[in-house]
Amino acid sequence: MPTFDQVPMLDAELHTGTGKRAAIAKEYMGYINQLQEGQAGRLQPLEGETVTAVKRRLGTAAKLIGKELTIKRTEDSVYFWLGAPPRRRRRVARDES
């Protein structure tokens, strides 16, 4: 008879991921886990990669490990740090009638 264990969903996702996509996600999780409060990271895409792809991969990795990141991009780099970006408030147009 098999042994049954309950495991957190994150553990299941990390241990069952295979292939290039899972390897990339683990790499980006490593970058995020290196950060401490008050520190920021910078990633520069390699040749053949885009800044947009790096930003998307960072966001995906952060969601997988349950961390809130602020991610900002420049022309050739992606900066990121722990913590959610401040929410913007929308201005409500006043009805002038």
pLDDT digits (tens, 9 = 90+) for 33-47: 999 888 999 999 999
- The H-or-E segment that residue 52 falls in is helix 51-65
Bridge partner list, 20: none
Strand order in the sheet with 78-82: 40-43, 78-82, 69-73
Q: Is the pLDDT of residue 83 over 90?
A: no
CATH of domain 10-82: 3.30.1370
Q: What is the mean pLDDT of the chain?
A: 87
User: Tell me, what's the pLDDT at 12?
Assistant: 80
pTM: 0.72
Measured between alpha carbons, how far is residue 3 from residues 13, 30, 58 in Å?
A: 19, 31, 35
Is the Cα torsion angle 68, 65, 61, 78 positive or negative in sign? positive
> Could you read off the pLDDT of 2-60 as tens digits, one per residue?
988 898 887 787 777 778 888 888 899 999 999 988 899 999 999 999 999 999 999 99
